[in-house]
Chain A
Amino acid sequence: MQLIKRKASESTVRPFQKIAPALAAASCSLLSVASNTALARGEAGTWDFEAASLFYSETDDRVVAVEPVFSATKNFEDGEVLNLKAAFDALTGASPNGATPSAAPQTFTTPSGNSTYTTDAGDAPIDDTFKDSRVALSASWLAPINRDWEYNAAFYGSKEYDYLSLGTSGGIKRYLNNKNTALNAGLSFSFDTIEPEGDIAKPLAKMGYNDADFDASRDDSSDSKTIIDALFGVSQVINRNTIMQFNYSVSMSDGYLSDPFKVLSVIDDTTGGNFEEGGNNVYLYEARPDSRIKHSLYWQTKYALANGDVIDGSYRFMLDDWGINSHTFDFRYRWQLGSSYLEPHFRYYMQSEADFYKRYISETEYNAGNLKEATADYRLGDLDGMTVGLKYGHKLDNDHEFNMRVEYYLQSSSGDKGFGLLKDQDLYPDTKALIFQVGYSF
């Protein structure tokens, strides 16, 4: 915004002055753990602020989240950029617990072990005790070393009621070919701790319906995981209207990677209904491997049309050692309308299931006791996701910008349809969500 003003007066005098902010912004993928980065858009020596609030609401009384974010960016005289960001989350609602729907009502013990909840016949079992709030703070720093090199560093921390995440990252960038090419390398380290109320469930332990059985299903009170990410990227100016980026990243997670709130149903071999023991349905807590390595390839291109509109397209391929691979296509068209713009957005996501994903466990598998890993979390199953949205932005005379967006997100799952009574149930219900965001930068 302010950059454009300066450009009008200096475009023939000091063209290099315009390049640094553009390239600094282009380096943003390396700045922070969650890719939330500083954007050098202001005058040196000034602060830029941005406030935004996200409202996320799933249909059928599922998850509702409100997330306000505040970001402050200081642009220093020598090209350094400091970004400070705070985000707050408030989540309520209900989340699928992994069990299959059934022809009969089902009763589950809450993760805390303090009470039970019942799902009506034919309904998707959801844990409606889900409620959490989160505070996330991050700081990132970017600075030139000399004409061709720059470095960045970031710190991140977030706290929920039962979860703590701490992270740091750093990276370097080397410019080549008159700064038309930039090579990036970055490393990130995160340490997460979970301490759920009611302790951690033992892998594939049976859900208990009394104190003794519940205690028998419990393990330690807390557990942790470490995540190390490495990212290598190239960004390239193609021509006066086109810039392209290509990244390869690898992410290694070790430790407790299960979701302590997810279970699997054990299904009777004969009827296809719930398998019972002692008059109660049998549900097992999920168990995921204790390590995961993900590889991602990411490509993005931005192209400016002669009329000022901008096309932004990206593709990501992800592959991991859990047997999941995914494709993500993202397309935005920024339609410039004087000092306003409209930006339609389309995103399509396809994911294959993890090797250990099972919609349910059969009575035979349960009795054999050979299973080491299993999850019915639909987020690790065969999944498609589609997002359609529209954003509107308006630049005010004082260089401030107001924007808002509305998006619709639809997730569809598929897989084993079951047998017997199970065939009558909808094992893969869609998830639909409305996303609304309003933002103001100044």
Chain B
Amino acid sequence: MNSLRTTSVIILSGLVLSACSDLGVKPWERDVLARPEMQLNHDPVEAGLDDHIYFSKEASSGGRGFGGGGCGCN
């Protein structure tokens, strides 16, 4: 069962990665993606402040990055 699961994961990963190889752009087509506001976490200071608010008010944390500890607020 475990070997079947492992094999499935490997095959699935291969398929995902090969599918990814068809996606993307050429290096000279990155003008839009290079814009600061197109970075996945383009405002880490604001994201950190939000993480602190929601960490202290909700039972979930992390996801985008590590959930971690960091304060006695929860």
Contacts and interface: CB of A to CB of B under 8 A. Distances in A.
Interface of A: 1, 3-4, 7, 11-12, 15-16, 18-19, 21-22, 25-26, 28-39, 41, 50, 52, 54, 56, 67, 69, 71, 85, 87, 89, 132, 134, 136, 156, 158, 160, 162-163, 165, 167, 169, 176-181, 186, 188, 190, 192, 194, 225, 227, 229, 231, 234-241, 243, 245, 247, 249, 251, 253, 259, 294, 296-298, 300, 302, 304, 310, 314, 316, 318, 320, 322, 324, 326, 328, 334, 341, 349, 351, 354, 379-380, 383, 385, 405, 409, 411, 431, 435, 437, 439
Contact of A229 (B17, B26, B32, B68): B68
B64 A314 contact: yes
Contact of A237 (B23, B41, B74): B23
A7 B33 CA distance: 12
Given A33-B70, A304-B35, A326-B58, A25 B46 contact: no
Given A235-B40, A316-B60, A431-B57, 16 more contacts: A4-B35, A12-B28, A31-B65, A33-B69, A36-B48, A37-B44, A39-B39, A54-B49, A234-B16, A251-B62, A294-B62, A304-B35, A304-B38, A310-B35, A383-B58, A409-B57
Q: Which 3 A-B pairs have the closest CB atoms?
A: A35-B65, A180-B24, A163-B72
B70 A190 contact: yes
Q: Which of A4, A15, A21, A314 has the most CB of B within 10 A?
A: A15
A36 B47 contact: yes
Nearest to A15: B28
Contact of A28 (B24, B41, B46, B61): B41
A158 B71 contact: yes
B40 A186 contact: no
B1 interface: no
A34 B58 CA distance: 15
A45 B70 CA distance: 31
A310 to B, nearest CB: 5
Contacts of B9: none
Given A165-B70, A180-B25, A314-B64, A69 B45 contact: yes
Given A176-B20, A385-B57, A22 B30 contact: yes
B41 A39 contact: yes
A409 B17 contact: no
A296 B63 contact: yes
Nearest to A304: B32
Contacts of A238: 23-24
B39 A28 contact: yes
A186 B64 CA distance: 12
B31 A22 contact: no
Nearest to A353: B59
B34 interface: yes
A26 B34 contact: no
A188 B30 contact: no
Interface on chain A toward B: helix, strand, loop, or mixed SS? strand
Interface residues of B, number: 52
A381 to B, nearest CB: 9
A36 B36 contact: no
A132 B29 CA distance: 50
B27 A16 contact: yes
Contact of B69 (A85, A225, A300): A225
B34 A379 contact: no
Contacts of A50: 45
B14 interface: no
Contact of A192 (B58, B60, B69): B69
B54 to A, nearest CB: 7
Given A18-B34, A194-B72, A240-B33, A188 B66 contact: yes
Given A50-B45, A247-B63, A439-B46, A22 B68 contact: no
Nearest to A292: B59
Q: Which of B23, B24, B29, B74 has the most CB of A within 10 A?
A: B24
A162 B72 contact: yes
5 contacts: A36-B45, A237-B33, A304-B35, A328-B60, A439-B46
A243 B34 contact: no
A7 to B, nearest CB: 6
Contacts of B37: 310, 334, 341
Given A181-B24, A316-B60, A36 B44 contact: yes
Nearest to A26: B40
Given A52-B45, A229-B62, A379-B59, A300 B40 contact: yes
Contacts of A334: 37
B57 to A, nearest CB: 6
